[in-house]
Structure 1
Amino acid sequence: MLVNPELHELLPQLQQAAPHAKLIEMSAASARELAGADAALGVCSAEVLSKAKQLQWIQWLAAGVERCVQQPLVRERHMLLTNLQRTMGPSMAEHVLGMMLVLSRHLDYFLKQQQQAHWVKDDDAQAPQLADLEGRTVLVVGLGGIGTEVARRAHAFGMRVIATRASGRTGPDFVSYVGLPDELPKLAKDADFIVNCTPLTPQTTGVFNKEFFATLKPGAYFISVGRGRSTVTADLIAALASGGLAGAGLDVVDPEPLPPDSPLWHLPNVIITPHVSADTPFAEEQRNAVVVENLRRYAAGEPMLSVVDVERGY
């Protein structure tokens, strides 16, 4: 089994989960070992797939799997692909709510005032208008593992939660309405916050474009933790610059890394984090637990966790 060097410290637990498996770190794998490998943990390059002709299972170390599903050999060989969608949901959802609070409470503005030792009260003409999350509507685009955790936390704040989901209209009790992707423009008109939690597929690429932003009501905010390429960056910049969009919280952008000359860096009411919403100790613990458990299940011939539908791309 091929193992990404990123999992080096996890090797003892992996070996315990599959005592009879030969675990080989990619950096030390020989051509013969590549050719005979039947599983890969955190490895999905075209070069490796072409050489690992016995490969049956790939455990990806992220929620988004577009890098894997776009590899023709994954489909041609009907490989089993698993990801970490649900393990990252709680951490990413907290990041989303953090961005929503910063934007609605204008905490970025007050931080700048603090750095200048400037006490700004709400009766000051310079002070921005604060807003509550309670009673406002959030549209979660992509009610999967991540989107569901966003919805759960937004509901706990007293927000009305609506969502879209490609796989059907079913959803948890704390979501008021679940629509299909083609209902996105209609649902977006009522939303105070729109949260992009979608995987990257042909259907979601560029879905947040000029036409989409034009449907939003004044004062709406856009939060993106799904995939950067689902948003047309130039259209997002135009919506922010015109004031049609009140603000944005972006953990994913297109391209990544964001170029230093991008206008997004300097637009007011924009929060940018460098794709770190799942980079927490808790998320890492959850990731490791799933990788170890899936290896145990694979070795035992049991059903796997977080199986990806390769045709759908998530």
Structure 2
Amino acid sequence: MYEKDLKRIVSLFPELIEEGLSVEEEEYPIRSNHSTYRCDLKGKDKNGNTVYIELKLEAGEAVVAQMSKYATFVKENGRFMVAAFQFKKDVIPVLNKLGYEHKVVDYDKANQLLKENETNPKLFERKMKALPSHPAYKKTPTQLVYQDNEREIISGLFHELESLLRDYVEREYHLQFIGLDIRKKEEHRLLFKSPTSPGDRFVIYTRPREMNIIEIQYVPDFSFTTGHTTKRKEDFKAYIDAHEEEVAGLFGFDQLHSRTKKEVLEQGDHLDHRKQAWKGLSYRIVSPIDEWSKPDFPQFVAMKFISFVETILPVLEDFEKMSNKEM
């Protein structure tokens, strides 16, 4: 089970967490002066109290910092809760000490409900207010490596992502949409010009060699040549090296990976620091390709992209300040 499956089934059956709980919104924005944090679920308990819930397959230390940010900057007081199938050692005592709740979700029950409702349209109805309604799209044929059904899925996904994101991210974050680029090896990229520097790009990327992965990337001084390097790339690499733990925590992870190993992929989504190739930062969504055609999957990816942008823009501001001081 992936984290998005947990979100799907808890949104449909919030009683998995607590009787009388209702879910009002997913990816609820909590804003500080410089950043926006996205809480997985906002809802109401049976007594009408607001509940902020962070969902994890396994909750590690990073979730404590996430909950602290939510509690610090939220405008409407309420209960703060982490719901997970399991918790790493010492996480629960720290949550309790800080006044945050924890709920252990019954994996077998959640998995059974997921199987029983896999054809239920309501399972794929998302409550994400940041995104417009699910758009229609035109299928555009691509060529070469993928099987025909896979090609149709990927083409459809990327065109839906374009429809969901291009106007919204330009209006909210000043990211200029450049286009959908499909290379001869059927590498798909949605490219957005970063507001931080003319050559920087935000990218949604996938390739046949890693068919179960969609990457959301920030790439300084973007180039299609992977061996290409510049001073800005090297400076960004050095900045991330010096702030690895802090950056990983901002994205809700305990660590930042520089080389994706098999055991990392088995754990699901993760944050990757490309010290070779692009020399950028990449949020990697790990999901089998047959998931990509599910009705709500484009919305999941679009919200991950929005959250990635919201999280990294303050990091880039700090990077720019430090770079300017050194000049």
TM-score (norm 1): 0.27
Structure having the larger proportion of residues in strand: 2
- TM-score by length of structure 2 reads 0.26
Which one has a bigger Cα radius of gyration? 1
Higher RCO (C-alpha 8 Å, min separation 6): 1
